[in-house]
Structure 1
Amino acid sequence: MSPAANQIEHAAVRQHCKHLRLPTVAMQFDKLAQEAIKERQTHVSYLASLLGAEVEDRERRVVERRLHEARLPRMKTLAEFDFGKAPHISAAQIQSLAEGGYIAHTEPILFIGECGTGKTHLASGLCVAACQQKRRVRFTTAAGLVNELIEAQHHNFLGRALARWARYELIAIDEVGYVPFADVGAELLFQVISDRAERATLIVTTNLPFSEWTTVFSNTRLCKAILDRLTDRAHIIETGTESYRFRRTTEARQRARK
């Protein structure tokens, strides 16, 4: 085949791929064809390799999109978590949760512990694992979520905002307990939590035991209703009281002195 004819065929394949939205096939069909000739693959084997490359790249892009949409504060995975320095936390339990069964069964996860004990890291790691399973995930702080909903209500977009949050398969609400909420904010947060009860799941991190949640939600009945929905069939994981970050800083200073 002449070089000109070869170029025409390549251009036709790329045009078809553009029409069919197969970018990876367009990029790799020639390279994989040359490899197939050298390895004496069958036509079917070559086609399987080519389509497999497209599927693999497409799944990678879906995961990347899910991670971007999750708006994680930092990309922290469970593999990076040092369970050896967190004796209160069961590595086996966390790894089991990472498989995603709690999402399928709409079982909330609550991480309870002092600042610096790994709550946010674990919540982020579970969110990453869910994104890798191509689930729709969103990470937010409690204050950030409440502020967004109050602003939406102010501009008469509350229904639209709530519908957007309802589309996520998993929402992680970080730092419940650091900022007390006025009644309107507490009611909006309750609405998000209530709407997800037994339909979609939540991960919540808090530095407060349940007995002290009335310092955040001053309406006792509302506080009880929030806890009732969050703790139903929940995985409640205590992360302890000793700050991992503080201990890491102390150990680093000791090493520097030596």
Structure 2
Amino acid sequence: MSQSRTTTRKRVPSPRPDAGAQEAVDTVIDEACRALHLPTIRSRIEEMAATAMRERSSYKDFLADLLEAECADREERRKIRLVREANFPRPKRLEDFKFEENPNVTPEMVCTLADPAWVTGRQPLCLIGDSGTGKSHLLIGIGTAIAEAGLRVRYTTTVNLVNELAEAADEKKLARTIARYGRVDLLCLDEFGYLDLDKTSAKLLFQIFTEREERGSIAIASNAPFSEWKQTFTDPRLCTAIVDRVTFNAHIIETGTDSYRLAQTQKKRKR
């Protein structure tokens, strides 16, 4: 009799899950993820639940895995957003810089600038050198590294910034525009010294430097040494004040005079 009961028990099938109840649970999870803005958990819940069951994870381990995946994806999305908002004209990364082509720039020096400590310390950066020596690549690459570290970065050329400030002044929005540039952690100013500024334009640009003084970092790429900046800023006092602000406690990298682009062109012609 006992054996018969045992056999009977073995033949009883496992209870089937209620499909309707399971769908209701899935709906609750989906709606909760939408409401709490958890897109990674929402998209990966089935996959990760199957893995947890296969590995016999505890409820806490399963929850920890879900939250860890969400946090990792959220951080990656934040990096992408900060890089996009920096408004770089093209993607450039420091690891793609050809250090062997420019002995003036060392990997150790650049790695130091990839760390955001100098930005949080509100220190300036000056990249000085002739055209084609990698200034813009370094400026964008460093700015990208800083943005991916979680800081707010903004890239612009000097001429675009001056034009934007002039338009803002005409529209009575100058204070708002200057304040917007003052809020970013790092302002990357490219092609500095490529044009001669009249007194009005120079004063507008100077307001940006004044707004950011001791509040945020500025990184400048210029094809002119400091001694030639008086050609850009015709007012000697204004020129001295700007040089003083961008060189005080600054990181200064001289990229030299040998154009990488010219060298590559010459190599192609020889082939």
The interval holding the TM-score normalised by the smaller chain is over 0.9
Is 1:85–2:101 an aligned residue pair? yes
- Cα offset, 1:90, TM superposition: 1.9
Could you tell me which residue of structure 1 aligns to residue 220 of structure 2?
204
Work out which of the residue numbers 164, 177, 185 in structure 2 matches 1:161. 177
- What's the % identity of the aligned pairs? 40
Deviation at 1:101, TM superposition (A): 1.4
- Secondary structure, counterpart of 2:196 in structure 1: coil
Distance 2:120 2:32 in 1: 39
Q: What is the letter of the counterpart of residue 223 of structure 2?
A: N
Contact 2:133 2:259 in 1 (8 A): yes
Gaps of 5+ in 2: 1-16
CA distance in 2, matches of 1:254, 1:6: 70
Corresponding residue number in structure 1 for 2:48: 32
| CA shift for structure 1 position 24 | 1.2
Per-residue deviation, residues 141-160 of structure 1 (Å, max 9, x unmatched):
01111100110010001111
Give a deviation string over 1:66-100, Cα, whole Å, max 9, x none: 01110101110000000011111121011111111
Instruction: Specify the SS of the correspondent of 1:88.
Output: coil
What is the CA deviation profile of residues 6-47 of structure 1, one whole-angstrom value per residue up to 9, with x for unaligned ones?
Answer: 111001111111111111111111210011001111111111
Instruction: Give 1:188 shift.
Output: 1.1
Number of residue pairs matched? Answer: 255
Which one of the candidate residues 70, 85, 88 is aligned to 1:54?
Answer: 70
Residue number in structure 2 paired with 1:195: 211
Structure 1 stretches lacking a partner, 5+ long: none
Letter in 1 for 2:71: V
What is the rounded CA distance, in whole Å, between the counterparts of 1:99 and 1:175 in structure 2?
Answer: 24
Deviation at 1:184, TM superposition (A): 1.2
Name the CA distance, whole Å, in 2 between partners of 1:180 and 1:110. 19
| 1:50-76 deviation line (CA, Å, top 9, x unaligned) | 001110111111111101110101110
Alignment of 1:1-258 (within 5 A): 1-255=17-271
SS in 1 for 2:122: coil
Between Structure 1 and Structure 2, whose CA radius of gyration is higher? Answer: 2
SS of aligned partner of 1:229: helix
CA distance in 2, matches of 1:127, 1:210: 22
- Secondary structure of the corresponding residue to residue 204 of structure 1: strand
CA distance in 1, matches of 2:40, 2:80: 16
Deviation of 1:253 after TM superposition, in Å, equals: 2.3
Q: In 1, distance between residues paired with 2:270 and 2:18?
A: 72
Structure 1 vs Structure 2 CA RMSD: 0.9
- 2:193 touches 2:222 (CA, 8 Å); kept in 1? yes
Aligned to 2:12: none
Q: Letter of the aligned partner of 1:247 in structure 2?
A: A
Question: How far 1:127 sits from its partner (Å)?
Answer: 0.6
Q: The residue matched to 1:175 in structure 2 has which SS?
A: strand
Deviations 1:187-228 (CA, angstroms, capped at 9, x unpaired): 111111121112210100101111111111101110000001
Equivalent residues of 2:99, 2:107 under 8 A apart: yes
What letter matches 2:210 in structure 1?
S
Distance 1:172 1:203 in 2: 5
User: Counterpart amino acid of 2:157?
Assistant: T
**Structure 1 ranges of 4+ moved more than 4 A:** none
* TM-score w.r.t. length of structure 2: 0.92
| Partner Cα separation in structure 2 for residue 140 and residue 159 of structure 1 | 18
After TM superposition, the score normalised by the length of structure 1 is 0.97
Letter of the structure 2 residue corresponding to residue 2 of structure 1: D
Deviation at 1:252, TM superposition (A): 2.1
**Equivalent-residue separation in structure 1 for 2:260 and 2:18 (angstroms):** 67
Separation (CA, whole Å) in 1 of partners of 2:121 and 2:31: 44
